Structures are given as structure tokens and as C-alpha cells.
């Protein structure tokens, strides 16, 4: 058995009231919880020893009985231009020391669970791309994470821990995290409760205090989840991984489309726009000879025109070892975007970050497995 420090209360798993209750059982006054909360989410403390205004006795107890996040860094890679940094984390065992549980079977497992987190620097933004699940069950054919299958959902604390980790890294360089995108490993709406709890924690005005409009949730199109999210009263951005504008093609790229076809998906996206006033972004990975035709561009325009305010984010495919497709050529990307523009559909080509370090979701873990 490893050190007992693995099996501790994870402070990032505690809501504000739960932290108060814990410290109350330790005989601490209520204001101590406010101090600890501030150290976690405002001052970004990575260890209790940094919480300098707490009594030494309390710091010592926190050190021996709690931890701050369940992430262990396995690998770090930075792009040559320094604009993209990617981390591979191992998730530590459950804070209570109990065995892990397989999401699909419910069986107990000791399998090593790994996730990825990416920092992307832009001119005026510092964006953390975080994971919501270890692996993914959606099975999108061209996605490195989808090719892995699902290991388990992440807890709210594990989602939050990624954001705080990146924020600390930036703070050491006198930079500030400005945006969070739930576009890493996993389908956030398939892990709805933990994802929502993490968003609420990150936007807490008495804590990390990130603006809701600085958070983007990306989904492959879980229609019930989008409908539920539209009723939460949030102002976060919704991005839908679309990739095809006809059911026949999308069925082959995104298997979930067979359950929730395009007409259902477009209807719930319209609902999201009507309820929140936030325009929907459609993500489109352009694959050479697959979904980069002008016919697909025209079909997309027909699907969305007059139904909702939207923007199309065009992304040349990030190649993976298990998918034979190649990114569309720059000429075809430009032609696709021009056709959308001709039909009045707002679109941009996403600047691809970290190609030299395979910064696409799941690719670092995939490469390490191939090398071992």
C-alpha cells in the first residue's frame, strides 16, 4: 500500500457548506472555513502549509487528513512556440481509500486512470481545456479519446482540480487564466451532475469567480442533456460537435446521431438559444474527402438558417493513429468557409494549437501507450 496521504479527504470535493461542517467537527470557528475556501479558490493554494493565516495546529491537521485535488502529473509537454502546454495526469484513488469502480460494469478495479488537460495561450486569452471523463463512450470514429472507450466519470473535484492546476501554473508566470473549455476527454453531458457542480464551483462569486460567459461546454449532441442545461439559468457557451449536416454521414462519424438525429439536435439547440440568448457554436472537424464538400456546407446552411443564431468553428482534423483520415487541405477549408459565408452563416477557422505535441484530446495518452 502506498502512503496514507493518498487516502484523505479531498478539499476540492467539498461544497462550501460541507467544508464548514468538516471544520466544525474539528472544533474550528466558522470563519476558518471562509479562510480555507479563499486559500483554495482565490489564492490558489496547492498545500495547507501555504495557508499562512491559519493556526499551525489547523495547518498540520489539514496536512495529515486532507489533500487538495486528486491529480498526479505523469507527463508534461510544451509546443515549440510555448503557446500550448499539455499534461497527462493520473487520478489518485478515491479519497476515502475505497476501491475504484468501473463506470460500465460497476466492478471494482485498480486500473490506472489517466486524463489530459491543455493550456492554450492566445493574444488576449489563457484557456484551460479540461476533461470531464476518463475516456469517452461516444465512439466518434476520428477522435483519439473516443477510440479508447470509457473508464469512468470524473468527480466535480477532479474537474475543478484541473482548472486550479492550470491557474496556479499561470500565476507562477504572473499570468491569469481567462477561459475554460470543457472540450477535453469525455462527454460533459454524460457526466451531468458532476459537470454542473464543477461549473457552479468555478463561477462562485465568493471563490474562483470565473464569469459564466468565459466557460464553454462542448457536447457531441446529447439531446436530453442540452435541454436540461438550457433550463439551468446559466450563461455558459454551448459548442456542439457536429461534423456532418446529413444523418447518413453523421451516423458514420458520430454514432450517437443514430439515437438523436439532426432534426432533434437542431431543435434542442434552438431551445438553448431561445432560453439563454447565447448563440450556439457548431464544431466541424474537416476531413479530406469525407465531410469537406461544398454539398455538406450547403446542407449545414439549410439546417441552421432561420432557426438559431450560430457560429461554425472549422477545424482541420487532428490525425490520430487509429483513424486513417487526413485533414482537409487549406484550399478546401477556405472553400468550405466561403460557401457558408455565401449563405450567411458566420464561421471561422480555428487556429490549431500544439500540433507538434499532439495536443488533440487523448493523443498524449495514446502515444504513451504506444511507446510502452
Query: Do residues 185 and 116 lie in contact, with contact meaning Cβ atoms separated by under 8 Å?
Result: yes
Crossing angle of helices 262-276 and 223-230, in 10° steps, is 10
* C-alpha span between 309 and 313 (Å, rounded): 14
Domain end (from 67, 100, 115): 67
Q: How many CB atoms lie within 10 A of CB 115?
A: 29
Hey, what's the cell of 78?
510544451
Q: Tell whether 150 and 62 lie within a shared domain.
A: no
115 touches 157 (CB < 8 A): no
324 with 341, same domain?
yes
Q: Residue 324: which CATH number?
A: 3.20.20.70
| The Cα angle at residue 306 between residues 305 and 307, in degrees rounded to 5 | 95
Q: Say which residue the cell 458514420 belongs to.
A: 252
Q: Are residues 161 and 205 in the same domain?
A: yes
Phi first, then psi: what are they for 306, rounded to 5°? 80, -5
Grid coordinates representing 203 are 463561477
Of 49, 67, 85, the residue at which a domain comes to its end is 67
- Would you put residue 229 in left (φ > 0), alpha (ψ -120 to 50) or beta? alpha
Does 120 share its domain with 269? yes
Catalytic residue among 140, 143, 310, 361: 361
Q: What is the predicted pLDDT for the residue at 146?
A: 82
140 in the same domain as 264: yes
Q: Which three cell numbers stand for residue 120?
A: 492554450
pTM over 0.85: yes
Supply 355's cell numbers. 500540433
Question: What distance in Å separates the CA atoms of residue 200 and residue 215, rounded to the nearest whole number?
Answer: 11
Same-domain check for residues 233 and 361: yes
In a shared domain, residues 8 and 75:
no
Output the CA–CA distances (angstroms, integers) from residue 299 to 244, 249, 269, 303, in the order listed: 9, 11, 17, 6
The count of C-alpha atoms lying within 13 angstroms of the C-alpha of 292, restricted to the half-sphere facing its C-beta, is 22
C-alpha cell at 173: 508566470
pLDDT of residue 208: 98
Pairing status of strand 280-286 against strand 310-316: parallel
72: enclosing H helix or E strand: strand 71-78
How far lies 265's CA from each of 138, 199, 215, 239, in Å?
Answer: 15, 23, 21, 12
Domain boundary among 14, 35, 67: 67
Q: Domain check: are 270 and 229 in the same one?
A: yes
**Residue of 13, 28, 114, 116 marked active site:** 116
Q: pLDDT, tens digit, for every residue of 46-60?
A: 999 999 999 999 999
Same domain for 62 and 147?
A: no
Cα 236 from Cα 199, distance rounded (Å): 9
Which residue do the cell numbers 477510440 mark?
147
At 269-288, the pLDDT tens digits run: 999 999 999 999 999 999 99
Task: Return the C-alpha cell found at 272.
Answer: 438553448
Cα angle for residues 56, 9, 128 (degrees, 5° grid): 100
Q: Which residue has the cell 454539398?
A: 295
Same domain, 299 and 189: yes
Number of structural domains found in the chain: 2
pLDDT, one tens digit for every residue, the chain (372 residues): 344 444 589 999 999 999 999 999 999 999 999 999 999 999 999 999 999 999 999 999 999 999 999 999 999 999 998 899 999 999 998 654 444 455 455 555 557 899 999 999 998 999 999 999 999 999 898 888 888 889 999 999 999 999 999 999 999 999 999 999 999 999 999 999 999 999 999 999 999 999 999 999 999 999 999 999 999 999 999 999 999 999 999 999 999 999 999 999 999 999 999 999 999 999 999 999 999 999 999 999 999 888 889 999 999 998 887 788 899 999 999 999 999 999 999 999 986 654 554 545 544 444 444 344
Q: Could you list the residue range(s) of the whole structural domain that residue 8 is in?
A: 4-67
- Answer yes or no: 116 catalytic: yes
**Does residue 289 share a domain with residue 162?**
yes
The CATH number given to whatever domain includes residue 22 is 1.10.150.530
Verify whether residue 283 is a known catalytic residue: no
Judgement on whether residues 151 and 241 belong to the same structural domain of the protein = yes
DSSP character at residue 331? H
Instruction: Give CA–CA dist 194/26, Å, rounded.
Output: 27
Amino acid at each position: 500500500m502506498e502512503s496514507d496521504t493518498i487516502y484523505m479527504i479531498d478539499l476540492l470535493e467539498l461544497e462550501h457548506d460541507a467544508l464548514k461542517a468538516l471544520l466544525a467537527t474539528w472544533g474550528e470557528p466558522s470563519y476558518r472555513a471562509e479562510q480555507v475556501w479563499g486559500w483554495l479558490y482565490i489564492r490558489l493554494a496547492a498545500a495547507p502549509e501555504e495557508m499562512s493565516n491559519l493556526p499551525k495546529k489547523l495547518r498540520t491537521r489539514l496536512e495529515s487528513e486532507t489533500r487538495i485535488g486528486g491529480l498526479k502529473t505523469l507527463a508534461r509537454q510544451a509546443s515549440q512556440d510555448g503557446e500550448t502546454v499539455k499534461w497527462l495526469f493520473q487520478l489518485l484513488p478515491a479519497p476515502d481509500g475505497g476501491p475504484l469502480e468501473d463506470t460500465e460494469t460497476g466492478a471494482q478495479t485498480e486500473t490506472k486512470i489517466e486524463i489530459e488537460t491543455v493550456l492554450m495561450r492566445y493574444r488576449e486569452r489563457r484557456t484551460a481545456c479540461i476533461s470531464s471523463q476518463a475516456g469517452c463512450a461516444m465512439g466518434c470514429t476520428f477522435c483519439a479519446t473516443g477510440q479508447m472507450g470509457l473508464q469512468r466519470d470524473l468527480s466535480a473535484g477532479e474537474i475543478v482540480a484541473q482548472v486550479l492546476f492550470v491557474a496556479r501554473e499561470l500565476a507562477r508566470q504572473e499570468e491569469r487564466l481567462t477561459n475554460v473549455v470543457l472540450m477535453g476527454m469525455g462527454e460533459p453531458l454524460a457526466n451531468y451532475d458532476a459537470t454542473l457542480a464543477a461549473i457552479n464551483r468555478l463561477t462562485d462569486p465568493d471563490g474562483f469567480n470565473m464569469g459564466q460567459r468565459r466557460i464553454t461546454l462542448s457536447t457531441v449532441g446529447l439531446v436530453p442533456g442540452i435541454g436540461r442545461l438550457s433550463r439551468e439559468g446559466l450563461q455558459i457557451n454551448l459548442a456542439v460537435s457536429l461534423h456532418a449536416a446529413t444523418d447518413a454521414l453523421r451516423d458514420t462519424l458520430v454514432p450517437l446521431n443514430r439515437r438523436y438525429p439532426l432534426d432533434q439536435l437542431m431543435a434542442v439547440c434552438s431551445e438553448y438559444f431561445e432560453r439563454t440568448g447565447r448563440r450556439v457554436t457548431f464544431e466541424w472537424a474537416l476531413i479530406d474527402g469525407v465531410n469537406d464538400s461544398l454539398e455538406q456546407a450547403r446542407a449545414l446552411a439549410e439546417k441552421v438558417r432561420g432557426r438559431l443564431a450560430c457560429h461554425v468553428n472549422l477545424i482541420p482534423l487532428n490525425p490520430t493513429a487509429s483513424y486513417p483520415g487526413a485533414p482537409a487541405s487549406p484550399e478546401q477549408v477556405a472553400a468550405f468557409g466561403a460557401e457558408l459565408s455565401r449563405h450567411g452563416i458566420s464561421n471561422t477557422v480555428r487556429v490549431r494549437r500544439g500540433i507538434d505535441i499532439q495536443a488533440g484530446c487523448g493523443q498524449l495518452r495514446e502515444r504513451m501507450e504506444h511507446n510502452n
